[in-house]
Chain A
């Protein structure tokens, strides 16, 4: 896979009041959602309505999203699914990060159906459409499965979200054929 996507939860014990400090002590501030042992330690202190964290998104050697853009991660994943749905029906979709004015958009690229333009804040990336969407949907599903495992979302929310992700996966597979 050319894409690497991972989700990290913010340690609720750690307040971020200086962005420069985070990089040196990244593992103290953020925990990979797959790190079962560490996640269990912080789980009960996480506020279900405000789950901070970040999505790490890398294409080949290029980092597209990382801890610099940490935000309310469950909502960010939901907004990404929202804009993917809208993009697939309208060819363009945008949103803002949940708690900060960073714009995220997906749009078509002229005369090239195989790629899309992904805009995040001031940066723009041209990326292979199907590969990106498949990777995003797989990672989103993984993220929400972890949230339900940790009882950080309700079963209803999880069921609805997994249905939406599966629908998108079907749509992308149909478009591929």
Chain B
């Protein structure tokens, strides 16, 4: 073995080590991202089954990662039980996500103040109180809008409730408060939380 061969072998070894290190670092970051994505997915879609999660691109990655003994266990997803009722709910969630893609925030002006109806607020209103978008969550007294009420009507009702309470909103200094509106003979409760629409529901169950 000549000196030249020795240098060549040393250089090849060094390059290999460097490349492997880079690759491992990249893989580590890849695994971490997949794990974070998995957590986010579960948080955003608590009603979906593990099987459905595994059908998503993230799910496939997660499965592959888990098979190698890395990251969290798939069993974690079994915590969310799914029953018959949730089949409708899953469709509702899909419909709601579709609807929200098209929804633009509305700024409702009240004198020198504004009340913001943003995507998050609208999502909450719809998934809690609209029969066609309901996420299945139950509270002691569950209140629903009528099934055929349209999204534009809900937005208009929120605006009308704000209008009916203009003086109160202008004078109020509390960050979290409620106002009532009567629209077509029905009473609605509007919850305003730090200048944004937090809740809106009908008093009739």
Contact = CB atoms under 8 A, between A and B. Distances in A.
A1 interface: no
Contact of A82 (B46, B86, B174, B193): B174
Interface string A79-95: 10010000000000001
Interface in B89-120: 89, 120
Interface string B158-183: 00000000000000001111100000
A113 interface: no
A96 interface: yes
Interface string A30-67: 00000000000000010001100000000000000000
Contacts of B80: 13, 15
Contact of A98 (B85, B141, B199, B202): B199
Q: Which of A72, A74, A157: most chain B CB closer than 10 A?
A: A72
Interface residues of A, number: 32
A27 B79 CA distance: 15
A158 to B, nearest CB: 11
Interface in B111-134: 120, 124, 128
Interface stretch (A99-107, A124-132, A135-143, A169-177): A99-107
Interface in A3-35: 12-13, 15-19
B184 interface: no
B191 A157 contact: no
B147 interface: no
A100 B200 CA distance: 9
Contacts of B148: none
B140 interface: yes
Contacts of A12: 43
A18 B80 CA distance: 13
Nearest to B135: A15
Contacts of B79: 13
A99 B136 CA distance: 14
B145 interface: no
A136 B83 CA distance: 39
A2 interface: no
Nearest to B189: A96
A32 B205 CA distance: 30
A36 to B, nearest CB: 22
A99 B191 contact: yes
Nearest to B129: A99
A162 interface: no
A70 B198 CA distance: 17
Interface string B13-49: 0000000000000000000000000000011001100
A121 B138 contact: no
A16 B139 CA distance: 8
Given A74-B176, A95-B178, 12 more contacts: A15-B46, A17-B89, A50-B198, A75-B176, A75-B193, A79-B178, A82-B176, A97-B141, A99-B201, A100-B201, A101-B141, A157-B194
Interface of A: 12-13, 15-19, 45, 49-50, 68-72, 74-75, 78-79, 82, 95-102, 121, 157, 160, 164
6 contacts: A15-B46, A79-B177, A82-B174, A100-B143, A101-B203, A102-B141
Interface of B: 42-43, 46-47, 79-80, 83, 85-86, 89, 120, 124, 128, 135-143, 174-178, 189, 191, 193-194, 196, 198-199, 201-205
